[in-house]
Structures are given as C-alpha cells and as structure tokens.
Amino acid sequence: MFLKTSNAVITVVAGVGVAVAVYWILNKIAELLPGHWEDRIKPYLYILPAYAAITLYLIYPSILTFKYSFQDSTSTEWVGFDNFTKLLSSHEFQQTLINTLLWMIIVPIFTVAIGLAVAVLSDRLGPRGENVSKTLIFMPMAISMVGAATVWRFLYAYRPEGQEQIGLQNALVVLLGGKPVPWLQQDQFHLNSLLLMVMLLWAQIGFAMVLLSAAIKGVPVDTLEAARIDGAGERQIFFRVVVPQIKGTIITVFVTTLITVMKIFDIVYVMTNGNFNTNILGVEFYNQLFTNFNNGAAAAIVVMLMVAMIPIMIYQVRNFKAEEAA
Amino acid sequence: MATTTTTPAVGASEQSKTAKGPGREGNPAKAGWATRVALGVICFLWVVPTLGLFITSFRKENDANTTGWWTVFGNFGNFTTENYHEVLTNPNLDLAGAFVNSIAIALPATFIPLLIAAFASYAFAFMNFPGRDILFLTIVSLLVVPNYVSFVPILKFYGVVGLGGTFAGVWLAHIGFGMSLAIYILRNYMVTLPPSVIESAKVDGASHFQTFYRLVLPMSVPALASFAIFQFLWVWNDLFVALVFIGPGENAPMTVAIKNNLLSQQGAGWNLVTAGGFLSMIVPLLVFLSLQRFFVRGLTAGAVKG
C-alpha cells in the first residue's frame, strides 16, 4: 500500500523530470543547428511529444478501428460490411440505437431548459442564497457515475409488496396507496431509460446552470431597462430580450451535453448493464468487446458513433475559427 | 469549448459577488415567495438522494436493509461507523487498497501530461510555423472523439507488450486521452497573455526555452490548475478506461472495485454499498468544494472530453 503510493509519487517526479530532460535535449539539438534551421525546427520539436501521444493513442488507433470494423471478430479476415449489416439488421441493436437517440434528444433539451430555469431563479436570490443553491445543484457534477449509481440504485430500490420499502421512490408510491414497482425493469414507454436519464440530468444541470447564469449576468442592463420602460412584463423580457442575447451560450450548453450523452457509458453499464431494453451504444460496444469477444462488431459500433459525430466535429471547428477571428 | 474558454471564468462563488454589482441594481426582479419555494424544492430534490446515501452509510446492517433511512428522524441515535471499517478492511471488498490504487493512478495521469502539453501549447501560442493552424484544428476536432474509439487496437497492443492490467498502461492511456484537452485549455489561455511581455523578453535576448519556463509557465498557473483539477477528477471518476485497461483485481481503482465488489454482487447490504459509495465521493467533493473556481473553468473548457 505504501509501496503503491510512493511509486505513484516517484512516477510523478520521474515523469515530470523525464519530460523536462527530453525538452531540454530537444532544445539543445535545435540550438546545434545553424541559425535559420533552429527557428524552423524548434516549433516541431516542442509539439513532438504531445503529438506523439495524440497520434499513438487517438489518431492511429482510430484508423485501426476503422479497419477492424471491416474485419471479422479476431481482426484476421476481411468481411466487407458484414459487421454493419449484421448489427443494423438485429432487432436488439435497433433498440439500442433508438435508446441512444432518445438519450440524445431528451437529455440535452431538459438540461438546457432546467438549467436555464434554475439560473434565472437563483439570479433573483440574495448573494448567500444564490451561492448555496448553486453549490448544492452543482455538486453532483464532481462525483463519479459509479458513486451516483450507489445513490440512485438505493433511491430506486424495490422490495416485494408487503415488505417495508427502503427505496425512497417506492416508499412514496406505497404511501400514496400504490403498489411497489421494480423501476429499472419497467421498459414500457422506455420508463427505465428515462429514470437513468434523470441521473444524468441530476449530474449535468449544475454545469448548464453555471454557464447560463454567467451569460445571463452578462446581458447589458440598459436593454432590460429599455424593455421595462416600454412596458414589457418579466416573461416577455426573458424570452424577447434575455434569451436572444444568450443564444450562443444556450447552443454551447446544448452541444456540450449532446457530446457527453453520445459518449455515455457508465450510468447504463452500472445500473442495468443494458438489460431490460435500456441498452445504449457505449455499453453495447463494451459487451461486444468483452462478452462476445467480437472486435469487428465493437469497432463497427464506434465507427457508426464517429460518423454521427462528424457534423458536431465540423461545428466545433467552425465555431472555434469564428471565435478566433472575432 | 471555444465559447466558454474565452469568456472570463466565473465560478459559482464568484458570481454571487458580482451579483451585488450592476446586475442586482439593473434587474429589480427580486425573489418573490414563489421563486424561493421553487428553488427550495429544487435544492431539496437535488440533495435528498445523497442525504439518503450518507445517512444509510452510518446505519446498522439490519436497520439499513429493513427500514427506510428516513425513519431515523423518528428515533435518532443507533448509528455506527462499522460499515466504513468493513468496506475498507474486508479483503473481499478492500476499498482501502482501491483508494490507494485510485491515487496511484490519478496523480501521474494528472501531472505528466501537464508539462508535455504546456510545451506544445507554447509553440502553438507563440511560434509561427507552417502547418500550425491545421495541427491545432486537428486537436480541436479530436476533443469530440470518444476515447473508446481507440480501445480495441490499444488493448491488442497492450496484450502484446504486457501493459494490460498495469498502472503504466492506464497512465499512458490517460496521458494520450487527456492531451488534446490539455493543449486546448493551455494554448487558449496563453494567447490571452499580454504579447508585450513576451516581446520584451525576446528583445532582451531570452531564448524560447527561457521565455517558456521563466515567463509563460508561471503566468499560466491558473490554466494549469484548471486542467490539473479537471483531469484529476476525470481520472478519479473514470470507470471505462480503468475497466478496460486494468480490470478487477489488485490494481483496481475505487470505481471498478465498487462496481465489481459492491454493486454487482447480490447480497452486499445497502449499509455497505452506501458506505463505499460515499467513500468514493469524498476526494472529488473536497476538491470541488475547495477549488470550485478552478474546477468550473476547467469544466467549461473540458466538458466535451471522454
């Protein structure tokens, strides 16, 4: 135990030391070169280690994954589009896609809507009230989804009828005269998926609130005043004056949440492992890889996800360019 | 995200201070009782799940598994710290070991990428070279890529070289996966540093290397801190990378140990599950509460990671 901790510390020191040494050497090498070559080569030497890490861990593996998606389960023979057609024609995978799509639609919309509502409401409180309420709502963002799962599994816990309910939700249902429900197994109208989404909303809304609140505070006061003088009500002011001015932040929050949702894995994996029709792409990827040992199918799933992400990627790059130009 | 890193970082705690300024005078909409009630209800809903977990983690096994945690308000007392002792020391659960593993994984995975990224960011921010923009835009676009796009090939590679299940394997993976975000945050911060300072250093004959570690690095501490906190929490809370590259066993971090030893096993009592769950939250909550401001900044920049 002590050994592991000290190893970690030694690694930090050694790792940082090695990094410094590498840069010092790279810098020396550059200085050995004749004048104009030094200036030409140096930038590339500076970004070399970082780009090496990115290339080794993201770019090159992505290319390999693309290749694997057209090969069989052990990546030995080419199978064309077999992985894709097999997946897309299976009923279960179609359900997985539908679930993923539901996540992508529902979670970002509710994150923005509730985040905006909380930001507006807390903006009206005194400083202390605002601070406390924001911290409380923001806090779940810091904890892991595994930690959140211990919280929410307990909340959704189910005991057969007649026994005392220890899960809060079922206890309330019984209190109101209903029968206890095994919540995570209820897939009518995707109820269980919705309950899992609630977990992500719980964790994400604080983040939306913080960004939106900052944007709302940035709205110039005279625009509000002008609207008020013209006789606009609070609701009109909000929708016609405030919202148009914070549109950029709203889109940012929406896109950011969308990206988070598309990558989601832990919530569903820990809560249901994709059973009871709650499966999503991230969990299906994991199960293809570690339960079915099917590299081809796992790779095909990521490739589909990547294709779906291309528009977002283009949007991000464009957005960044626009920001830089401004 | 581009939009958010360029705006001044505003933490939850900072905002309340500015609220007293022009915003407060300018927006005369004061909180009526409806606002207060609505926010009170929301805060209550947000806290209750965690409160239930916290209370249950101090209840006796039989109490926790047969009666609702809210019944403690009827008959107070009867609490125990035995659950924490049990999850930490029981060799089948061994969260003490997992806690150490989490630290052993998170520290190097946080600090090693920092310096590497800082150097690259310096080049992107202050040096002119052909291909600079396209290389940086590649990094921007890679922020969106889910890291499991590379799991299959890396897993195969680790199998060949024997890095599977080792700390070094996850460190390297987190360095690779965290690098684009680190460069993105640091470079975007560095370009906001006053150019005159860098220029005058150059005029005084300082080399790039000297300018970097004497000037730019110390001036970039806020951004370095943001990334460090974000990355630390990200690695600490990570389940996917740890599950794939380390898996259960003696090197498993908290997330994997809780998933496999407490949540998967039928029969682990709620008293133990809740205690384990709360243990996993202590470090991130402490980091969050003490460094909220930096955390928000890193978060808004890095929310797209994963």
A198-215: pLDDT as tens digits: 999 999 999 899 889 888
Residue A8 lies in a domain: yes
CB contacts of A195 in chain B (<8 Å) are none
Question: What are the mean pLDDT values of chain B's consecutive 10-residue runs (306 residues total)?
Answer: 33 38 48 86 94 92 88 81 91 90 91 91 92 93 90 93 90 93 91 86 86 89 88 94 92 93 80 93 91 71 53
**Nearest Cα residue to B276 out of B294, B297, B253, B298:** B253
Whether chain A has a CB inside 8 Å of the CB on B152: the answer is yes
**What band does A235 get if pLDDT is binned at 50, 70 and 90?**
confident
Q: Name the residue facing B239 among A139, A144, A324 (closest C-beta).
A: A144
The reported pLDDT for the residue numbered B22 is 41
Chain B CB contacts of A235 under 8 Å are none
Measured between alpha carbons, how far is A35 from A316 in angstroms, rounded to an integer?
Answer: 38
Task: Tokens 């030497």: give the residue.
Answer: A45
Domain-ending residue, one of A16, A34, A68: A68
CA distance B216 to A49: 19
Q: Is the pLDDT of residue A68 over 80?
A: yes
Please indicate, yes or no, whether residues A32 and A159 belong to a single structural domain of this protein: no
The pLDDT of residue B301 is 58
Alpha carbon of B242: minimum distance to chain A alpha carbons (Å): 11
A234 with A290, same domain: the answer is yes
Are both A147 and A35 inside the same structural domain? no
Among the partner-chain residues A145, A317, A323, the one whose CB lies closest to the CB of B137 is: A317
Does residue A16 register a pLDDT over 80?
A: no
Mean pLDDT score of chain A, rounded to an integer? 91
CATH architecture of B95-302: Orthogonal Bundle (1.10)
Domain span holding position A35: 2-68
Which residues on chain B are in Cβ contact (under 8 Å) with A40?
Answer: 129
**What's the pLDDT at A278?**
95
* pLDDT tens digits, one per residue of A113-153: 999 999 999 888 888 888 889 999 999 988 999 999 999 99
Q: What is the pLDDT of residues B63-110, one digit of tens each?
A: 888 888 998 887 777 889 999 999 999 888 889 999 999 998 998 899
Q: Which of A38-47, A84-93, A303-312, B79-88 has the lowest mean pLDDT?
A: A38-47
Contact list in B for residue A121 (CB cut-off 8 A) is: 31, 35, 38-39, 42
- Residues B224, A16: contact at Cβ < 8 Å? no
- Residue A273 is given by DSSP the state T
Residues 232-291 of B with CB under 8 A from A: 233, 236-240, 243-244, 254-255, 258-259, 262-263, 270, 273-274, 276-278, 280-281, 284-285, 287-289
**At which of A68, A95, A123 does a domain end?**
A68
Our CA-based measurement puts residue A180 at a distance from the nearest CA of chain B, in whole angstroms, of 14
Residue A103 has pLDDT above 70, yes or no: yes
* Residue B79 DSSP SS3: strand
**Cα dist from A185 to A172, A193, B82, whole Å:** 18, 9, 33
Looking up tokens 């070399």, which residue turns up?
A: A48
Domain check: are A13 and A106 in the same one? no
Q: Is residue A128 part of a domain?
A: yes
Which residues of chain A neighbour B39 with C-beta distances below 8 Å?
118, 121-122, 125, 129, 133
Distance CA B181, CA B306 (A): 10
Is B150 in CB contact (< 8 Å) with chain A? yes
* Triad B110, B113, B118: Cα angle to 5°: 120
Highest mean predicted confidence (pLDDT) among A179-183, A213-217, A231-235: A179-183
Residue spans of the domains in chain B: they are 95-302
Nearest CA in chain B to A209: B12
A75 lies in some domain? no
Q: Which residues in chain A have their CB less than 8 angstroms from residue B179's CB?
A: 50, 53-54, 57
Work out whether the CA dihedral B4, B5, B9, B12 comes out positive or negative.
Answer: positive
Is A56 domain-assigned?
Answer: yes
Whether A52 and A91 map to the same domain: the answer is no
A71: β partners: A78
Report the residue of chain B nearest A223, measured CA to CA.
B26
Nearest to B179 among A50, A157, A286 (CB): A50
Q: What percent of chain A has pLDDT over 90?
A: 64
Q: Do A316 and B2 touch (CB under 8 A)?
A: yes
Best mutation site among A121, A135, A143, A250 for testing chain B: the one with the most B CBs within 10 Å? A143
Instruction: Please tell me the predicted confidence (pLDDT) of residue B67.
Output: 87
Give B-chain residues touching A171 at CB under 8 angstroms.
Answer: 68, 70
For residue A193, the domain's CATH number is 1.10.3720.10
Question: Do residues A9 and A149 share a domain?
Answer: no
Query: By CA distance, what is A66's nearest residue in B?
Result: B149
Instruction: State residue B12's pLDDT score.
Output: 38
CB–CB contact A8 B167 (8 Å) = yes
In terms of Cα–Cα distance, which of A257, A112, A138, A220 is closest to B13?
A138
Residue to substitute from B83, B152, B175, interface A, most A β-carbons within 10 A: B152
Give the angle A259-A264-A270 at the CA atoms, nearest 5°. Answer: 165
Q: Nearest CA of chain A to the CA of B225: how many Å?
A: 16
* pTM given for the model: 0.89
Tell me the backbone φ, ψ of residue A78, rounded to 5 degrees: -75, 135
Residue A161 pLDDT more than 80? Answer: yes
Least CB–CB distance from B42: residue in A62, A118, A298: A118
What are the residues whose beta carbons fall under 8 Å from the beta carbon of A261, sequence distance 6 or more? A103, A104, A107, A108, A200
Q: Give pLDDT, residue B93.
A: 86
Task: Identify all chain B residues contacting A20, using CB atoms and an 8 Å cutoff.
Answer: 115
Name which of B283, B272, B275 is nearest B237 in CA terms.
Answer: B283
- Chain A residue numbers with beta carbons less than 8 Å from the beta carbon of B13 are 131, 135
Q: How near does any CA of chain B get to the CA of A214, in Å?
A: 7
pLDDT at B23: 41
Sequence-separated (6 or more) residues with CB below 8 Å from residue A43:
B123, B127, B128, B129, B132
- In this complex, is the C-beta atom of A52 within 8 Å of any C-beta atom belonging to chain B? no
Query: Judging by beta carbons within 10 Å of its beta carbon (0-12, 13-18, 19+), is residue A36 exposed, middle or buried?
Result: exposed
Q: Is the pLDDT of residue A9 over 90?
A: no
Residues A170 and A291 in one domain: yes
Question: Do A93 and A177 belong together in one domain?
Answer: yes
- Taking a contact as any Cβ pair under 8 Å apart, which residues of chain B between 153 and 172 contact chain A? 153-156, 167, 171-172
Are A159 and A256 contained in the same domain? yes
A261-279 average pLDDT score: 93
Averaged pLDDT, A89-102: 96
Average pLDDT over residues A16-24: 80
Residue B28 confidence (pLDDT): 52
Largest CA distance in chain A: 86
**CB distance from B26 to chain A under 8 Å?**
yes
Contact (CB<8Å) A7/B167: yes
Residue A73 lies in a domain: no
